[in-house]
Structure 1
Amino acid sequence: MQPLDIKALPQQLRSHSLEILRVYWVLVKVMLPAILLVKLLDSFGATQWLSWLLSPLMELVGLPASIGLVWAAAILTNLYTAMVVFYELAGGESLSVAQVSVLGILILVAHSLPTEGAVAKLVGVRWRVTLMLRIGGALTLAALTHQIYSWGNWQQQPAIMLWQPEAQAESLAAWAIDQLWLFATIFLIISALMTLLRLLRWLGIEKLMHWLLSPLLRVLQVGREATHVTIIGITLGLSFGAGLLIAEARSGEISRRDMILTICFLGLAHSLIEDTLLILLLGADLYSILWGRLAFAIVVMAVIARCWRRTSVAESPSAERVLDQ
């Protein structure tokens, strides 16, 4: 624990507050255009069009074609909108726990792509990589999960929804108010988390965090400098944690390779607490939507990390030394 300098405290608080505002402003500049674009596209029927494209793929993962609308809503907006759409369709579709779990995987892996893709792009992950990894990963994991459930005839009982959404106003004013609340919530979360991280660093607990995550980082072949990014993504996700993720990327303390690998991993497995609990409310199976998703993300990114290393070493004899720095 570092000694507390009382005289320097006002200056430190001012510096900390300015840092929070800088991080938040960067996030606003990324998220606001994406949110407005999605609203504009949705007003022209983009969700219905995307649902039409996704409907044939639903059969590959054992879901009714109409459920494509739920995933389309998740891809363009967020989990909450997808849950409302699912509730509206639930009366006409009798789904098993296995089917809701498969749908949950699709939603958890690939949602809020306009916003989260913009965040990933800002820290170095190209759009095509984000779309291929998250949509392709969602379909692959959903298909594998469907086959496992079918093979063992597991979780075939009817799913029980534990959540009922409140009626939502569809006016533009109501939508605008919701977005203002969203940005206000994000500001509070960023402020709290940045303060907490500084407190943990002052208490010396930061070293414990590095130690706890070291096995995962070794599997992903990224340096310990990526600890904060991983913690932010696993707990807050890419939307709520976007400002901090961008700040970490711009700090220069994390190599480009480590940042890309970490963000790609978080694309497959982020917000493991809140998002998982939300999908559980729809009647999904915890083992597949949490542990199955986490294991899938680790395996996929471990393979990608090793392929990247081998390719880099083959192209340059000194590449391996550079990647280890």
Structure 2
Amino acid sequence: MRLTGYVIRKTREMVTVYWELARIVVPVSIATEALSRLGVIEALSPLLSPAMDLFGLPPELGLAWLTGLLVGIWGAISLIFTLVPVTDLTAADITVFSALLLFAHALPIEQKIIQKAGPAMVLTISLRIGGGMLYAFLLHQVLAATGWLSAAADPAWIPMGSVTGWPDFFFGLVEALASMFCVLIGLVFALDILERSGVMALMMKTLSPVLRLAGIRREAEQFASVGLFLGISYGGGLLIREARSGTVPPRDIFVACIFMGFSHSIIEDTVVVMTIGADFTGVFVGRLLFTVVASAVIALMIRSVRDETFFAWMFRGARQTT
């Protein structure tokens, strides 16, 4: 009976988190897909083409970047070699463009989840896009100055965009929601077991120095770690629950969300862009180092901001001692 009660209680907790995520993912996914099919994204992409010059990239990739910002990584990489022949791209081009995608993608969904945890949506979107642009610009300058990765791009896989109908889209959406449900229910139980067994404390002890360097305090370390490895949907989803319980201070939630925005799904997303020719050092090592430094700077700034300003412009959750 005690085990049954435990399972029921944890399942209810998970369902609450899942419902919050589903309420965001479904309408935003449909709206974004509709905009894409109506040609709105393609119509707006010329506005981003001049920005490609900052990163030494062909202007045609502006459409792929905007698609990535709104739809996600998969939508962007399916366009890259359609817009620009692989023979016209270098390994540096693929690495720099991949860096832009990794920092900021699927913003309508991911940042809506972050907003539910408390941080202001416009501010966090600006920080993700700005952080990605800064890192891509610095990476481009280093690569251009050293000649590193100047060889022709050599992708292991060239994705081709596929035109599908609305039934295929909805089938994929249901499939994604089912996968999210399974992952979340496993995650809730796994985290509780790891915490009760002491394994979580050991894992956090190992990761803690890096997270502390990034300005993330103990209360938010677990959720930042989940986001780092599994993605914003899961790390952010758990943070929503904790934010409502009041166990994690708002400023710590904010910094953890910024950290997750810069680096999340660190294994899966890195492998995806490496298959199209991105360099590991540029999209993994450099990205993590930048994330730690940038998050630390933002954490210092956030903790120096007056409560009135913080809760008026940066955080919309419950007000408490921070």
The TM-score with structure 1 as length reference comes to 0.90
2:77 counterpart (80, 83, 91): 83
Conserved 8 A contact 2:158-2:276: no
Residue 199 of structure 2 corresponds to residue 205 of structure 1: yes
Aligned counterparts, 1:214-293, within 5 A: 214-293=208-287
**What does the per-residue CA deviation read over 1:6-32, in whole Å, with 9 as the maximum and x for residues that have no partner?**
x41111112122222121111111212
Residue 92 of structure 1, CA deviation: 6.2
Conserved 8 A contact 1:190-1:241: no
CA change 1:93–1:241 in 2 (3 A) is: farther
Residue 66 of structure 2 corresponds to residue 72 of structure 1: yes
Measured in 2, the distance between the counterparts of 1:8 and 1:148 equals 59
Specify every segment of 5 or more residues in structure 2 that has no aligned partner in the other structure, as ranges. 310-318
Residue 99 of structure 2 corresponds to residue 105 of structure 1: yes
Aligned counterparts, 1:18-167, within 5 A: 18-91=12-85, 94-165=88-159
Deviates most, 285-294 or 128-137:
128-137
Q: % of aligned pairs identical?
A: 33
Provide the aligned C-alpha RMSD in A.
Answer: 2.2
Specify every segment of 5 or more residues in structure 1 that has no aligned partner in the other structure, as ranges. 1-6, 316-321
Residue 279 of structure 1, CA deviation: 0.6
Q: Which runs of 4+ in 1 moved over 4 A?
A: 322-325
**Aligned to 2:47, what secondary structure does the other structure show?**
helix
Conserved 8 A contact 1:209-1:227: no
Residue 89 of structure 1, CA deviation: 2.8
Measured in 2, the distance between the counterparts of 1:56 and 1:129 equals 24
Deviates most, 102-111 or 219-228:
219-228
Residue 285 of structure 1, CA deviation: 0.7
Aligned to 2:2: 8
Conserved 8 A contact 1:103-1:142: yes
Measured in 2, the distance between the counterparts of 1:27 and 1:278 equals 24
Residue 136 of structure 1, CA deviation: 1.1
CA change 1:60–1:230 in 2 (3 A) is: same
Aligned to 1:307: 301
| Corresponding letter in the other structure for 1:113 | L
**Aligned to 1:118, what secondary structure does the other structure show?**
helix
**Aligned to 1:65, what secondary structure does the other structure show?**
coil
Measured in 2, the distance between the counterparts of 1:263 and 1:278 equals 23
**What does the per-residue CA deviation read over 1:102-157, in whole Å, with 9 as the maximum and x for residues that have no partner?**
00001000100000110111112212212211111111111110000011111101
CA change 1:309–1:209 in 2 (3 A) is: same
Measured in 2, the distance between the counterparts of 1:67 and 1:136 equals 18
**What does the per-residue CA deviation read over 1:256-275, in whole Å, with 9 as the maximum and x for residues that have no partner?**
00000110111111111101
Measured in 1, the distance between the counterparts of 2:285 and 2:44 equals 29
**What does the per-residue CA deviation read over 1:160-204, in whole Å, with 9 as the maximum and x for residues that have no partner?**
111243663421111111111111111111112112111101211
| Corresponding letter in the other structure for 1:290 | F
Conserved 8 A contact 2:86-2:153: no
Measured in 1, the distance between the counterparts of 2:159 and 2:33 equals 21
Residue 93 of structure 1, CA deviation: 5.6
**Aligned to 1:156, what secondary structure does the other structure show?**
coil
